Amino acid sequence: MTTPRDLLISTMDVESDRPTGQGDLSLALAGAELIDLRKAGALSLDGDRIVPADHWQGDLGDGLLGEAASALNRQEPYESVEDWLWRRGRDLSATYLDALRAEGQIASPRHRWNPFGSGVTALTDTPARRHAADRWTSGEPVLAFLAAAVGLHDEPKEDVAGLVDDAVVTVLAAVNDAVRELEAVRQRRSIENAAFDNIWRGQ
């Protein structure tokens, strides 16, 4: 099981006061990939630069995480964490959702007509779901802070620096910054669209 999968499953399984934005989730999934790849020894961080491990041939045991490892920029100067989040994160939530669906971890509606809309999904009872639930209920710091970044719950009261190492703090901080930047873009577009509508209405 991987952190990106646990995060996606948690966003689908845990009740929240507001829906998780797909863009926010995509950025967080890209950050989760970095954390798992570093843990597996596929990369290290030099400040905020992602340094791929030389001649690394470990078995990640997950196709999407393997794709992430293959997508690492191996040319100096290496890619920053922020740049990775925006590049790798593009539509990443849909990619992971498609993977869960292909693996049978998402139940298909019993009938063609669905009063809740075609976007409604339901998780099946699988080891992956139970693993994510166990990690969630235990309050595991990485998953907890990633979930907070996408608005699934409030940020834990504990200082993240006291729970994880500096490299993980760097990734989590970059995810938070990217999510805030995306929200600022949304707000700016909303204001611009409202102003445009007012012009057409003669206001």
Position 113 in a domain: no
Please give the residue range of the domain that contains residue 53. Answer: 3-107+119-200
Q: Is residue 112 part of a domain?
A: no
- Distance, CA of 63 to CA of 69 (rounded, Å): 10
Pairing of strands 106-107, 43-46: unpaired
Q: Is 117 left (phi over 0), alpha (psi -120 to 50) or beta?
A: left
Q: What are phi and psi of 44, to 5 degrees?
A: -135, 170
Contacts of 87 (CB under 8 A, 6+ apart): 79
Does 79 fall in a domain?
A: yes
**What is residue 118's three-state secondary structure?**
coil
Q: Prior bond to 19 cis, omega within 30?
A: no
> Any idea which of 81-85, 111-115, 176-180 has the lowest mean pLDDT?
111-115
Q: What's the predicted TM-score (pTM) here?
A: 0.86
What spatial distance separates the first Cα and last Cα of the chain, rounded to whole Å? 54
**What is the C-alpha to C-alpha distance for residues 77 and 7, in angstroms, rounded to an integer?**
30
How many separate domains does the chain show?
1
Tens-digit pLDDT profile for residues 55-71: 888 889 999 999 999 99
Evaluate whether residue 86 is within a structural domain.
yes
User: What number is the average pLDDT over the span 94-117?
Assistant: 71
Q: Which residue, 33, 45, 84, is CA-closest to 166? A: 45
Residue 63, in any domain of the structure: yes
Identify whether 180 is part of a domain.
yes
Distances (CA, A) of 99 to 5, 83, 119, 166, 171: 10, 24, 16, 31, 24
DSSP character string of 140-192? -HHHHHHHHHTTSSPPPSS-GGGTS-HHHHHHHHHHHHHHHHHHHHHHHHHHH
Does any domain span residue 164? Answer: yes
* pLDDT at site 117: 41
Mean pLDDT lowest among 10-14, 105-109, 151-155, 160-164: 105-109
CB under 8 A, 24+ apart: contacts of 44-48: 44/167, 45/81, 45/167, 45/170, 45/171, 46/78, 47/170, 48/80, 48/81, 48/82, 48/170, 48/174
The pLDDT, as a whole number, for residue 19 is 74
